[in-house]
Amino acid sequence: MKTRDKILLSSLELFNERGERNITTNHIAAHLAISPGNLYYHFRNKSDIIYEIFLEYEKLVDFYLDIPEDRSITLEDLTFYLESVFDGLWSYRFFHRDLEYLLDSDRRLRQDYREFTNRCLVAISRIFEKLAEAGIIQPQPEELRSAMSLNVWLVITNWMAFLKTAHALDESTSLTLKELKQGIYQVLTLEIPYLTADYREQVMALREKYRPSLPESADASGEGCRSDQTLRNF
């Protein structure tokens, strides 16, 4: 594998594990056992590394959120979209953590991310539309649909931050992809009231599969019995 690609891979790995803020270019070079000079031969600066990683992320999500226009949509499609989005979120999880800072440091990134968000919102809205066409949810006026899409986006992009902060974890206890995917439960919660009678049971059963399980509860770690009634559900 080319050094350039190794740098991207290691950077992503380190960023995901310890946060972009805590990883310097020197760390990345050391982790690869190459010199800083070498790293800077391949990338002009740290921002450039991050930008290229973003482009990969963008490509991945765009690929998964390509809504077919020649056929109607099924519950399996919905599951696929949700699973894929959370997979992407997981693989590039460092990104949303320091998003604001990253966008402030790189104009290209800000612009691209803005357009990326927009495409995602359009895709989510289109999924709602097609779910209605397929008789899975009730059709909604455009205005409501786009507000709902935005809520879905907000829930998805904030779910991981919530998990990390709700956990009583030190650096030791780390998040798992499985826990992350419990965000799907939250997303499906948003759709409940709009389900048609025909599909209600099926979707509720699907949702149930993602229900957060007790064992991972932050409180089950023996920290004592605080009044975590609400978090108990997680």
Partner DNA sequence: CTATTATTAGAGTATATACTCTAGTGAGTC
Partner DNA sequence: GACTCACTAGAGTATATACTCTAATAATAG
Where on the chain is the footprint of a second copy (CB under 8 A)? 19, 21, 97-101, 103-104, 107, 110-111, 113-115, 117-118, 121-122, 125, 143-144, 146-151, 153-155, 157-159, 161-162, 164-168, 170-171, 185-186, 189-190, 192-194, 218, 226-231, 233
Which CB contacts under 8 angstroms, 24+ apart, belong to 100-104? Answer: 101/20, 101/21, 102/20, 102/50
The minimum distance between CB 189 and a second copy, in angstroms, equals 4
Q: Give rounded-to-5 percent helix, strand, coil for the chain.
A: 75, 0, 25
Residue with smaller CB distance to DNA, 1 or 225: 1
Q: Which among DNA, a second copy, none contacts residue 202 (Cβ within 5 to 8 A by kind)?
A: none
The CA-atom distances, in angstroms, between 75 and each of 152, 199, 202 are: 17, 9, 9
What residue has token string 């998040």? 175
Residue with smaller CB distance to DNA, 34 or 169: 34
Tokens found for residue 222 = 């023996």
Residue with smaller CB distance to DNA, 36 or 135: 36
Query: Nearest-CA neighbor of 125 among 110, 144, 138?
Result: 144
Q: Which among DNA, a second copy, none contacts residue 151 (Cβ within 5 to 8 A by kind)?
A: a second copy
Q: Which among a second copy, DNA, none contacts residue 103 (Cβ within 5 to 8 A by kind)?
A: a second copy
Residue 23 has φ and ψ, to the nearest 5°, of: -115, 120
**Residue 213 per-residue DSSP state:** P
The minimum distance between CB 184 and a second copy, in angstroms, equals 12
Q: In a 3-state reduction of DSSP, which class is residue 57? A: helix
The minimum distance between CB 228 and a second copy, in angstroms, equals 5
